[in-house]
A = this chain, B = another copy of it.
Amino acid sequence: MAVMRMSGEAHALVRHTHQERVLRALRERGALSRGEIAEAVGLSRTTVSEITRDLLRHGAVVVVDTDAASRAGSGRPAERLALDPDSGQFMGVDFGHRRVRVAVADASHEVLVSGRQTYPESAGWPERIATAFELIDRLGAERGVHFRALQGIGIGVTGPHPRSSAPHAPEGAFGPGFAAARDDVDVSFAERFGASVIVDNNTRFAALAEALAGDGDVENLLYVRLSDGVGGALVIGEQLVSGATGLAGELGHVTVAPGGRRCRCGKRGCLETVASVPAMLAECRERGADVGSLEELASATDPVVEQVLREAASALGRVLGAVAMVFNPAEVVIGGDIARTAPVIVEQASETLGAELFPWVAANPVVRCARLADDDGATGALAALFRSSPLLADHPEPAPVRALPA
């Protein structure tokens, strides 16, 4: 009997590892056919079929549809499998400077509800959190969705987000009570929903979403976002780079104008003091151009405005070029509404960046506008949850494995 027991345990352990890989692929990528699973996890079709048969039998995985709509060939449509949608829900929350966005997805990556609600920029954390809770209640009521099985909550916040042991920015520098954000926000959400919470910089979440949003995943991506501030993030090998103390990615605070304007971070002449939307608006007004909003900035035909945008994009291109020389990304993505609405930004940044790289390199990184909108922080938080969540590893244990005949 000892031998039988060893056999079952050891064999189950090996199969469990294979199952974990299949479940991880479905968790990270959503619905997949058996063939796509086999390719993703590097197991044979036969082994994948055996594993998915077990998972289907235990209800951890369900058939959601077939690939008939998307397939190019003429063969029989393949079933697509996904984690059981009812096995858990995931919530992504993105606290911007003036609005919160919420998206809730099931385990198959289907977004069940999403929405946004504004608050004044002066709102403190209690008000922002209350606004988010009201939004969540309203979304649930409108769609008849109950957030009864939240498996994890990812929350994006503005500004640098160092690890707990590291010092934080001065109170108020990057938002209301930023130093208190982590404690207040994660405790409030954890208590309200009884789920585990991860909190990080929303630009990092957006970068991860961007790396995963294309046709193929981008392994090495440099991301920058121009909005009320200038944030950034690095993705290497499909993982966010957090750095030694959690402060990686702060492209907005690289110096571009030594001795220049004072930045809210405490330094002078940071990229953010030149290329954030408020900085560009202020510079236009200083030069006599009458623009008061991002929309006016993007649509203005005044050559002064174009010059300001070009100078800002040029400073951005120099920073991106320096970072690209060291980090050698495949793609450089510029996010933020202004990058989408004023094409001169990506055009000029790309040109300046190109001049900063080796002239003999044929293939410089692709410089492009972000695919996702500024609200992508919530989606990115969901992507981070799907990639990091160990929660679904708790699916029902497989039944004892019987030895196959020789």
Contact = CB atoms under 8 A, between A and B. Distances in A.
Given A6-B11, A358-B160, A404-B6, A328 B255 contact: no
Majority secondary structure, A binding face:
loop
Contact of A250 (B265, B325, B329, B330): B325
Interface string A382-406: 0000000000000000000001111
Interface string A1-18: 111111100110110000
B254 A360 contact: no
Given A167-B360, A267-B359, A323-B323, A219 B244 contact: yes
B323 A361 contact: no
How many copies of this protein are present in the complex?
2
Interface residues of A, number: 65
B322 A363 contact: no
Interface of A: 1-7, 10-11, 13-14, 160, 162, 166-170, 173, 219-220, 232, 234, 236, 241-251, 253-255, 265-267, 318-319, 321-323, 325-330, 355-356, 358-363, 365, 403-406
A356 B170 contact: no
15 contacts: A162-B361, A166-B361, A167-B361, A167-B362, A167-B363, A169-B358, A234-B326, A249-B328, A250-B328, A250-B358, A251-B325, A254-B321, A254-B322, A265-B360, A322-B323
A405 B328 contact: no
A403 B356 contact: no
Given A10-B11, A243-B328, A318 B255 contact: yes
Given A10-B11, A244-B329, A255-B322, 11 more contacts: A3-B3, A3-B403, A7-B10, A7-B11, A166-B363, A173-B360, A245-B361, A247-B328, A248-B326, A254-B325, A267-B356
